[in-house]
Structure 1
């Protein structure tokens, strides 16, 4: 493995881990409840962490590069979802979220289900809960994810 490929693997592992830590920290410590599209942005990062971790343990140089490249694509996918979400927040285009149902409704009374629904926080996807310099968390995810995926791609390509 070249030094560039090793750096690419490290970025592919650490970037989604740090972004997920930030998302979970803003939720659990900062009290920001994620909307549906916030959750959409997290799923590719979870998968990227798995792929990037495998890039450290799979045998063979080409397998390591492939797993790193897949992780970069997943990171970029989260960034693209972040672009879409930020566009919804800035009202550049409408969102596409649908109503969702509460899981675990079996064996629960109607009164209990209604109590749970009324107690659940209402989180709109088209209103940013937090911004810094006019950029929302979805916007920062887009910037960092797309930028990081590009850096990983350059590092992989540089080694070839």
Structure 2
């Protein structure tokens, strides 16, 4: 059995999916803390989705290892991961659409709407606590695709593989 096929099994895939989400999350942290691209509110929401995928992958992979009688249910973990990644892809696509002005975003984090910021938050920004980042401005693109766009593509790929493993393996 080749290496790729051995990873695409229902008992192993949750760990691979958790690692993939951890790498995506690591990339987001790299962009924030090393390259200086502060995230917007929707970026933080996308991070929470990947944190959920990491948790589901680790717990869903460990339980069948610790309780062998539950191994036959590992396909459900793969389908759960497919659902999480599909949601992630849709959310990231929605965010990318806001960045590309395909549709309006939430008024609380776009340039067009009123920004609700407390006095304490405003003072923190003025004291060097970080800028107010708008959700409708893509601070970085590569080949015309923003970080949210790449997240949508990667999440869609992970959703497809998770569904494939859950259904076929």
The two structures have a TM-score, normalised by structure 1, of 0.83
Structure number with the bigger relative contact order (C-alpha 8 A, sep ≥ 6) is 1
**Cα distance between partner residues in 2 of 1:114 and 1:46:** 29
> Residue 26 of structure 1 corresponds to which residue in structure 2?
31
Task: Provide the aligned length of Structure 1 versus Structure 2.
Answer: 150
Q: How does 1:49-64 map to 2 (within 5 A)?
A: 49-58=54-63, 59=67, 60-64=70-74
Q: How does 1:82-121 map to 2 (within 5 A)?
A: 82-98=92-108, 99=115, 101=117, 114-119=122-127, 120-121=130-131
- Stretches of structure 2 that go unaligned for 5 or more consecutive residues are 109-114
Deviation at 1:124, TM superposition (A): 1.3
- Stretches of structure 1 that go unaligned for 5 or more consecutive residues are 103-109
114 and 42 in structure 1: CA distance in 2 versus 1, 3 angstrom threshold: closer
Deviation at 1:97, TM superposition (A): 4.5
**Cα distance between partner residues in 2 of 1:100 and 1:19:** 30
> Residue 73 of structure 1 corresponds to which residue in structure 2?
83
7 and 57 in structure 1: CA distance in 2 versus 1, 3 angstrom threshold: closer
> Residue 105 of structure 1 corresponds to which residue in structure 2?
none
**Cα distance between partner residues in 1 of 2:82 and 2:158:** 8
Deviation at 1:116, TM superposition (A): 1.3
CA contact (8 A) 1:65 1:156 kept: yes
The two structures have a TM-score, normalised by structure 2, of 0.79
> Residue 45 of structure 1 corresponds to which residue in structure 2?
50
**Cα distance between partner residues in 2 of 1:83 and 1:154:** 22
**Cα distance between partner residues in 1 of 2:32 and 2:141:** 14
Q: Per-residue displacement from partner, 1:22-57 (whole Å, max 9, x unpaired)?
A: 011110111000001101111111111111001221
Q: Per-residue displacement from partner, 1:49-76 (whole Å, max 9, x unpaired)?
A: 1110012211312443323322221122
Q: Per-residue displacement from partner, 1:54-109 (whole Å, max 9, x unpaired)?
A: 1221131244332332222112211111000000010000101424556xxxxxxx
